[in-house]
Amino acid sequence: MMNSLDELFSLRGRIGIVTGASSGLGVECARALAIAGADVALAARRGDRLGPLADAIAREYGVRAIGVQCDITVDADLDRLVAEVRERLGVADILVNNAGISPTGRAETLSREIWDGALATNLSAPMMLAQRVARGLIEKGRPGRIINMSSIYGTVASSIYRLSAYVATKAALVNLTRQLAVEWAQHGILVNAIAPGWIPTEATEAGMAKSQNRDRMERATPLGRLGLPEELRGAVIYLAGPASSYVTGTVIAVDGGYVAW
Ligand SMILES: NC(=O)c1ccc[n+]([C@@H]2O[C@H](COP(=O)([O-])OP(=O)(O)OC[C@H]3O[C@@H](n4cnc5c(N)ncnc54)[C@H](OP(=O)(O)O)[C@@H]3O)[C@@H](O)[C@H]2O)c1
């Protein structure tokens, strides 16, 4: 029985990996897991950022937090990430596949290099890391949670930016989420996605700086404003924790209603 807030949402004793945790939403995902009591590993290429962020999270929330420098498009880095987390924290039972890139370019001239790069980071890497984390859990007969960071652009196209590679990968990630949920349900590994709307971060700030883009985004959002990075925390804690024990293969929109109309 889940009779208390703690029983519904506590992640104490759990170990999470968050990719793309050197900036933006990834930092918030790591904070969310730590707020609920999980130990966390922050992964990204800019290793110099990870140590101070991990130390701050450890201090603030009283959990263990480490940084692991890695490029998620490199299989050997993924192997090292999972091994290092196992060695330093224990077997990871929560994975937040958050890292992503959003290259823009006209569809008629978009290069294969840009297209392939988006696929490698936004789609292949989450799959390759999810399978590594899942294998570790299946071997030990342990349950787990995987959360994939999709986007409103996993559902709709962008009228503001030319984002063909991005929207293709984010939509594919949604259906990959469903397939992994189905295949790994028997192992107690629940797989869900979050689809954020417009939230100012390093990735989006430049585009939003154009006031006309910002206005258009705000007008296109029923709640009439952009999101705040910390507004993702609740969805992460919910999908990682006991409260969502009967939820798998689904997508939670955190988008101010963007795809509702
Ligand atoms: N902000 C929004 O409005 C919004 C909306 C919908 C969805 N999203 C999604 O949310 C996720 C986070 O976006 P954000 O806005 O927080 O962007 P961001 O600030 O640019 O963060 C992206 C993160 O991904 C990491 N990353 C990129 N390529 C990597 C690689 N090859 N290996 C390891 N790490 C890599 C980056 O770290 P390094 O450069 O240090 O490697 C960075 O920490 C993305 O998947 C994005 O598509 C964002």
Residue 207 has a pLDDT of 76
User: String of b and e for 141-154 (b: at least 16 CB within 10 Å)?
Assistant: eeebbbbbbbbbbb
Provide the pLDDT confidence category of residue 22 given band limits of 50, 70 and 90. Answer: very high
Q: Quick check: CB of 25 below 6 Å from ligand 1?
A: yes
Provide the pLDDT confidence category of residue 229 given band limits of 50, 70 and 90. Answer: very high
- In this structure, what CATH number is given to the domain that contains residue 183? 3.40.50.720
Provide the pLDDT confidence category of residue 1 given band limits of 50, 70 and 90. Answer: confident
Mean of pLDDT over the chain? 97
Q: What is the CA radius of gyration of the chain?
A: 18
228: left (phi over 0), alpha (psi -120 to 50) or beta: beta
Residue 137 has a pLDDT of 98
Asked if residue 78 is part of any domain, the answer here is yes
Ligand 1 midpoint to CA 50 (Å): 14
Ligand 1 midpoint to CA 143 (Å): 27
Q: Quick check: CB of 256 below 6 Å from ligand 1?
A: no
What average pLDDT score do residues 68-78 get?
98
Asked if residue 134 is part of any domain, the answer here is yes
Statement: residue 122 has pLDDT above 80: yes
Asked if residue 235 is part of any domain, the answer here is yes
Asked if residue 259 is part of any domain, the answer here is no
List of residues 6+ apart from 201 with CB closer than 8 A: 23, 24, 25, 229
Asked if residue 57 is part of any domain, the answer here is yes
Split into its structural domains, the chain has a count of 1
- Whole-structure pTM over 0.85, yes or no? yes
List of residues 6+ apart from 80 with CB closer than 8 A: 68, 70
Asked if residue 17 is part of any domain, the answer here is yes
Query: By residue range, what is the domain housing residue 138?
Result: 5-254
Residue 213 has a pLDDT of 85
What average pLDDT score do residues 76-80 get?
98
Ligand 1 midpoint to CA 122 (Å): 9
Asked if residue 232 is part of any domain, the answer here is yes
Asked if residue 69 is part of any domain, the answer here is yes
